[in-house]
A and B are shown apart, each in its own frame.
Chain A
Amino acid sequence: MIEREQVLHVAKLARLGLSEEEVERMAGELSGILEHVDRIGELELDDVPPTSHVVELENVLRADEPHESLDRDVALAQAPDPVDGAFRVPSPQAEG
């Protein structure tokens, strides 16, 4: 079971604001899904190597040659709050 506190903790990590109603619903839904998923926990797989990738490539590397960067206007064109050629954000509280 996923408790309410866990939902809030995970939402914090994911920077996801949840309404009170969403927190409740999420706790139930995640519990249901994880209950199903938990069945893989019963499989004996201690000696099995994990697969993070099916592609068997190594050393795919790029030559150190510059490409053309975006015009700054283009880079900033999609920004919600462009100021002085930069992307403006509200200040983080955690540092002073």
Chain B
Amino acid sequence: MAELEAVIGLEIHVQLATKTKMFCGCELSFGDEPNVHTCPVCLAHPGVLPVTNEQAILYALKIAAALECEVAPRSIFHRKNYFYPDSPKAYQISQYDIPIASNGRLGDIRIHRAHLEEDAAKMIHVGDSGRIHGSGASLVDFNRGGTPLVEIVTEPDLRGAAEAAAWARLLRETVRQLGVSDVNMEEGSLRVDANVSVRPAGSDELGTKTELKNMNSFRFLERGMEAELARQRELIEAGGTIVQETLHFHPEDGTLHPLRSKEEAHDYRYFPEPDLVPIAPTEQMIREARESLPELPAARATRYEGEMGLPQDVAALLAADPETAGYFEQVAGSASDIEPRVVANWVTGELAAALRQDGGEVTAAESKVESGALALLIGMVQEKKISHGSGKTVLATLVAEGGDPEAIVEREGLAQISDSGEIESIVAAAVEANSEAAEQILSGNQKAIGVIVGAVMKETKGRADGGEVNRLIKKQLGL
């Protein structure tokens, strides 16, 4: 049997960070007392009418531009009819056959569509209602009801759980940098569902898919998809068939369970929402959305790889965070004679480690390490004015108190010992003091050289160049 490849498509709900709800002027909130942000419109009182929030349209257009989507010249809203206490009108206003955006891409993954809709209210299960014995009750809080949402649907282009999770992170960063959403998975402002199937590698057909819901972190998303892919592969390899169903992720134990199927299949009875008129984005709206885009992670990563020669993983890491990326570019700009690759390694390696060591509370850009200071420091190490180890010592000082690296080197006496006569005598003394190690080296144990190097470094307080010390030890031993 051919190997089974994973086929994954994602459906991402993004809560827009507008001031007010999609169709009424109630303020958006998170974590407030229940039902303090409601009005006749979002409680679906008799006679009320929805009026579309312009900012939500503009935000959707930004998302459309960032995802390189086509914008529908005239999109409309439909009513999706279903009864549930979280849906006060018993229909959700959503876009159906004509979404505002379609046919886009982010990285290598194609976007099928992105459409606008309103969020449901929140329900909390509260056990026995007291009034009705034996059956539980739920409390409905309409604060969230009517929050603007953009639902982004990908094509089934993802080929593994890790790839899908990584892409979802890229999407989150992209949307976050647009400034249109808080994209917080724990708080539900970003919700990712996955459509998962497998098929024989090389096949063009799609297998039966299952829909995975309730994965409220990227870790859970990846674990959920991994678990489901494993289940599907095992089932098919054992001769079984996949049943199309919706699976709920249980974060406590990482398992997936089918939602108990309702008594009947859904029949949403979609029809055009007669209370709203079409959305026809003007040239100006579309242009402004496009022009307002910052350089987004995918484009920035491509530029770092192409123009700056950074390795792919380092480029992606830097590009994901616009602040750190900006800092990196400043350092690289100040140190124009140093390869960007080296600068990137310092920013993502030594500096990140030093910041972590210091408590990890500030980012590179927020830290006391001025970009010019870091550029100077890297230059000193590159020019062997100080050793790499001393460079790290200086960096720790910069993180703690800021300042000028040259002054710190001066003050701490960290300048590399460039007088080879001085080093030579220290090396000679060290070889003599560690005769056992010297003999091991002579008998072929190269690792033993570390003992002598260590002794030299201790004596010089790290100010000697490691390569030079190695060379002199071997010379002393006549190797």
Contacts and interface: CB of A to CB of B under 8 A. Distances in A.
Interface of A: 9, 12-13, 15, 52-53, 55, 57-67, 69-70, 72, 75-76, 81, 83-92, 94-96
B1 interface: no
B135 A64 contact: no
A96 B280 CA distance: 43
Contacts of B74: 58
B137 A64 contact: no
A22 to B, nearest CB: 19
Contact of B264 (A12, A52, A84, A92): A12
Contact of A65 (B20, B38, B141): B20
Contacts of A92: 84-85, 138
Given A64-B53, A88-B129, A91-B135, 6 more contacts: A13-B264, A15-B83, A66-B26, A88-B126, A91-B125, A95-B259
A60 B276 CA distance: 8
A94 B52 contact: no
B325 to A, nearest CB: 30
Nearest to B128: A91
Most buried by B among A9, A13, A55, A81: A13
A64 B277 contact: no
Interface in B119-170: 124-126, 129, 131-132, 135-142
Contacts of A55: 277
B256 interface: no
B35 A72 contact: yes
A11 to B, nearest CB: 12
Contacts of B140: 86-89
Interface string B29-64: 000011111111001000000011111110000000
B18 interface: yes
A13 B447 CA distance: 78
A87 B54 contact: no
B27 interface: yes
B267 interface: yes
Contacts of A76: 35
Interface in B424-450: none
Interface of B: 18-20, 24-27, 33-40, 43, 51-57, 74, 83-85, 124-126, 129, 131-132, 135-142, 259-260, 262-264, 267, 269, 271-272, 274, 276-282
A67 B42 CA distance: 12
Given A64-B55, A66-B20, A85 B33 contact: yes
A65 B136 contact: no
11 contacts: A13-B269, A58-B280, A59-B279, A62-B54, A69-B38, A70-B39, A83-B139, A86-B141, A87-B35, A88-B129, A94-B260
Given A52-B274, A64-B20, A69-B39, A89 B138 contact: yes
B138 A52 contact: no
B80 to A, nearest CB: 13
Contacts of A67: 20, 24-26, 39
A89 to B, nearest CB: 5
Nearest to A15: B83
B38 A70 contact: yes
A85 B139 CA distance: 9
Nearest to B55: A64
Given A59-B277, A66-B26, A75-B43, A91 B35 contact: no
A91 B86 CA distance: 12
Contact of A70 (B40, B129, B277): B40
Most buried by A among B38, B55, B135, B282: B38
B26 A69 contact: yes
A64 B19 contact: yes
Nearest to A52: B272
Contacts of B278: 58-59
A88 to B, nearest CB: 5
A60 B139 contact: no
Nearest to A96: B260
Given A83-B139, A91-B135, A60 B260 contact: no
Most buried by B among A57, A76, A92: A92
A50 to B, nearest CB: 9
B137 A90 contact: yes
A48 to B, nearest CB: 16
A60 B50 CA distance: 11
Contacts of B51: 60-62
A63 B22 CA distance: 11
B25 A62 contact: yes
Contact of A88 (B24, B37, B138, B279): B138
Nearest to B139: A86
A39 to B, nearest CB: 22
Contact of B277 (A12, A53, A94): A53
Given A62-B51, A83-B139, A95-B260, A69 B274 contact: no
A83 B140 CA distance: 10
A66 B19 contact: yes
Contacts of A96: 260
Contacts of B141: 86
A57 to B, nearest CB: 4
A58 B279 contact: yes
